[in-house]
Structure 1
Amino acid sequence: MRLDKFLKVSRLIKRRTLAKEVADQGRIKINGLVAKASSTVAVGDEMTIRFGNKIVTVQIDSIKEHAKKEEASDMYQIIREEKVNSEESM
């Protein structure tokens, strides 16, 4: 599944267009490599997302084309959440 679609379906990022923008800015890594919106994600991948001054690392547990709000958080597991200074980068 495409990265931008996974982020929307899993509700890590609410809109697909916003997910594409974040990816195009180089703020998402999959298994340590900078990912584009069109990158493919798979079960077991480790994804790091930078949200402003917070970095969230998740492991992808399942991939679904559609997920209800209650099921969305079952698609991933948060491994690490850390706050960073605005001067630091990923």
Structure 2
Amino acid sequence: MIVRILGEGQWEVGDAAVSDLNDLDAEVERAVAADDQEELTAALSRLLGEVRSAGTALSDDDLRDSDLILPGADATVVDVRALLNPTGEGLIPG
């Protein structure tokens, strides 16, 4: 899976890491539902950190399409709410 973090770049993340990412995504969803910016910032930091540590950074000239686009760590509750999947799956489907 190719994951883009807005404003940073892309990482290739193996399927084995998706379960951990989904757990962290649930934290992001809870923070947005509670309209809690402080918790959202912390949850996004954990989610993006896991993408960076579990994934392999792709070079800027690697032009593969992203399978998933995540907001940057400075995203607001309003920003993330607009990105959430309308089916209730959060930022990360599955």
TM-score strictly above 0.5: no
If the length of structure 1 is used for normalisation, what is the TM-score?
0.26
| Higher relative contact order (CA closer than 8 Å, sequence separation 6+) | 2
If the length of structure 2 is used for normalisation, what is the TM-score?
0.26
1 or 2, which has the higher strand percentage? 1
1 or 2, which has the higher helix percentage? 2
